[in-house]
C-alpha cells in the first residue's frame, strides 16, 4: 500500500429504506479513521463513461478493503441477471476475498424459517420482494459469513465497534508472521485468499495454494478468451507473398506450438509436484506461485499464437493448411482450463473430506495433451507442395 493509504469500507444496501442507517454507519467508519464508500455521497468515485452498476462494482473491485452488507425489506433495482445491485456488489466482494460483515433486519431473520416452509405464502407485509428472503438464505449458506441481526443503526455500530479491532489484531498478527518468516507477498502475485494460505498454512495448504492461484490467474485472462472468441488482435497485419516465406512461417509456428506444449506438460507433471515438496516436507510457496504463473502465461501465449493467424495475409491456397495448423491450439487451451477448474474444485473437496471423515482420497491430475492432427496437416502440406513445388 502507498504511504498515507487508509483502508476503505464499502457499505452496500438499498438506499431509500436504509438512508439514515447508512448515514450513521458512515459516521462510525470515519470515527475509526477509515474511508467510507457509500454511493449516495459526492466522495463516491464515479466514472462518467460507465453506468451506475459498473461504477459500483468497480469501486468494490478496486477500492473496497472491508465490505459491510446491510439487508432490509427492499431488494432494490434488479439487473438483467435478475440480481439486485446489492447482490452483485456482495458477490464481487466474495470474489475479492475481503472481510465481509453481514447485517440482516431482525424481522426478516425471524420470518426466514417460516418462508422456507411456506415459500409460496404472502410475505409482502415484511419484504417488498421475496427475492430478499432468497438473498438472505443464500448468504446464510456461506460458512465464511457471520450474519448479525439488527433493529437499528446502533445495533450495527455496536457490532462493528467490537469486530473492527479484532480485524486490526488479525492484521498485526499477519504482519508479525510476515516479518518473522521474512515473507514477501505482493498483492499482484498473491490475492488475499492465497496470501492467507501462505501465512496460516492449514493442512494441505500447498495444494490449496496451487488451486487458488491457478484459478485466480485464469480468471484474469477472461479478456484474452473473449479476444480469441471474437478474433480480436491488435498486432500488425503480416502479409506474405513469397511461397517459401509462407512455408518458413508455417514451420516456425508449428515449432512454437510444440515448444509451448512441452512447457505445459513439464510444469504440470514435473515442476508442480516438486514445488509441493517431498512427502512429510513442507512445500515452497514461491515455487508454487512460479509454476502457476508460468502455466497461465503459457495459456496466454497459446491464445496469442492462435490469434496470430487472424492477422496473416497469404494466398487463399494456403488457407486450408493454416486452418489445420491453428487448430493445434484448441486441445491445449481446453485441457489447461479443464485442469485449472478441476483442481480448484476437487482439491478443496478432497481435503474437506479427509478432515471430516478421515477418508483416504486419491486425485489424479496427470496432464495429457492429445497429439495435433498431424495427418491432416501433412496432407494439406503435401497439397501445397504439389501446387507450388
CATH 1.20.1420 assigned to 192-388: yes
Residue-level pLDDT at 178: 64
Work out the number of other CB atoms within 10 angstroms of the CB of residue 198. 20
Instruction: Assess whether pLDDT exceeds 90 at residue 155.
Output: yes
295 within 8 A of 344, measured Cβ to Cβ:
no
The cell for 354 is: 479427509
| Domain residue ranges in the chain | 8-173, 192-388
Torsion of CA 305, 307, 311, 316, to 10 degrees: 90
Distance CA 90, CA 81 (A): 14
Instruction: Assess whether pLDDT exceeds 80 at residue 144.
Output: no
Residue 315 zone, left/alpha/beta (φ > 0; ψ -120 to 50; rest): beta
Instruction: Assess whether pLDDT exceeds 90 at residue 260.
Output: yes
Q: What is the average per-residue pLDDT within 116-143?
A: 81
Percent of the chain with pLDDT over 70: 93
pLDDT band, residue 270 (cuts 50/70/90)? very high
Work out the number of other CB atoms within 10 angstroms of the CB of residue 272. 22
Residue-level pLDDT at 186: 81
Q: Considering the chain, what is the average pLDDT of its residues?
A: 86
Distance CA 229, CA 102 (A): 38
pLDDT band, residue 121 (cuts 50/70/90)? confident
Fold assignment, 8-173:
Rossmann fold (3.40.50)
pLDDT band, residue 143 (cuts 50/70/90)? low
* pTM for this entry: 0.63
* Phi, psi (deg, nearest 5) at residue 191: -60, 165
Instruction: Assess whether pLDDT exceeds 80 at residue 271.
Output: yes
Residue-level pLDDT at 2: 46
Q: What angle do CA 131, 135, 138 make, to 5 degrees?
A: 135
Tens-digit pLDDT profile for residues 184-224: 778 788 887 888 888 888 888 999 999 999 999 999 999 99
Percent of the chain with pLDDT over 90: 43
Domains 8-173 and 192-388 share a fold: no
Distance CA 296, CA 327 (A): 19
Residue 82 zone, left/alpha/beta (φ > 0; ψ -120 to 50; rest): left
Tens-digit pLDDT profile for residues 226-246: 999 999 998 899 999 888 898
Distances (CA, A) of 169 to 166, 173, 174, 237, 262: 5, 6, 9, 56, 47
CA-closest candidate to residue 67, choices 41, 99, 95, 26: 99
Residue-level pLDDT at 358: 64
pLDDT band, residue 1 (cuts 50/70/90)? very low
Question: In sequence order, what are the residues at sequence separation of 6 or more whose Cβ sits closer than 8 angstroms to the Cβ of residue 248?
Answer: none
First to last CA, the chain: 63
Amino acid at each position: 500500500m502507498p504511504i498515507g493509504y487508509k483502508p476503505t469500507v464499502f457499505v452496500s444496501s438499498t438506499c431509500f429504506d436504509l438512508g439514515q442507517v447508512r448515514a450513521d454507519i458512515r459516521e462510525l467508519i470515519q470515527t475509526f479513521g477509515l474511508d467510507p464508500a457509500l454511493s449516495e455521497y459526492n466522495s463516491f468515485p464515479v466514472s462518467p463513461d460507465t453506468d451506475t452498476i459498473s461504477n459500483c462494482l468497480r469501486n468494490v473491485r478496486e477500492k473496497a478493503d472491508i465490505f459491510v452488507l446491510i439487508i432490509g425489506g427492499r431488494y432494490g433495482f434488479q439487473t438483467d441477471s435478475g440480481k439486485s445491485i446489492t447482490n452483485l456488489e456482495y458477490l464481487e466482494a466474495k470474489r475479492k476475498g475481503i472481510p465481509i460483515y453481514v447485517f440482516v433486519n431482525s424481522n426478516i431473520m425471524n420470518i426466514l424459517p417460516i418462508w422456507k416452509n411456506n415459500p409460496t405464502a404472502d410475505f409482502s407485509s415484511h419484504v417488498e420482494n421475496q427475492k430478499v428472503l432468497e438473498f438472505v438464505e443464500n448468504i446464510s449458506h456461506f460458512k465464511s459469513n457471520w450474519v448479525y441481526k439488527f433493529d437499528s443503526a446502533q445495533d450495527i455500530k455496536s457490532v462493528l465497534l467490537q469486530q473492527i479491532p479484532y480485524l486490526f489484531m488479525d492484521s498485526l498478527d499477519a504482519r508479525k508472521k510476515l516479518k518473522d518468516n521474512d515473507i514477501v507477498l505482493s498483492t499482484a502475485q498473491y490475492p488475499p485468499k492465497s496470501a492467507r494460505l501462505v501465512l496460516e498454512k492449514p493442512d494441505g495448504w500447498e495444494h490449496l495454494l496451487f488451486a487458488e492461484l491457478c484459478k485466480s490467474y485464469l480468471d484474469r485472462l477472461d479478456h484474452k478468451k473473449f479476444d480469441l472468441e471474437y478474433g480480436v488482435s491488435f498486432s500488425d497485419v503480416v502479409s506474405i507473398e513469397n511461397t517459401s516465406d509462407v512455408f518458413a512461417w508455417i514451420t516456425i509456428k508449428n515449432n512454437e506450438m510444440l515448444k509451448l506444449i512441452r512447457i505445459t506438460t513439464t510444469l504440470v507433471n514435473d515442476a508442480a509436484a516438486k514445488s509441493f515438496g517431498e512427502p512429510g516436507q513442507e512445500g515452497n510457496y514461491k515455487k508454487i506461485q512460479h509454476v502457476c504463473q508460468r502455466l497461465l502465461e503459457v495459456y496466454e501465449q497459446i491464445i496469442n499464437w492462435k490469434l496470430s493467424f487472424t492477422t496473416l495475409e497469404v494466398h487463399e491456397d494456403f488457407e486450408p493448411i493454416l486452418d489445420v495448423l491453428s487448430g493445434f491450439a484448441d486441445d491445449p487451451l481446453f485441457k489447461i482450463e479443464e485442469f485449472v477448474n478441476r483442481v480448484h474444485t476437487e482439491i478443496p473437496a478432497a481435503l474437506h473430506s479427509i478432515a471430516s471423515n478421515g477418508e483416504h482420497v486419491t486425485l489424479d491430475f496427470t496432464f495429457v495433451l492429445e497429439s495435433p492432427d498431424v495427418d491432416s496437416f501433412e496432407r494439406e502440406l503435401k497439397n501445397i507442395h504439389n501446387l507450388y513445388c
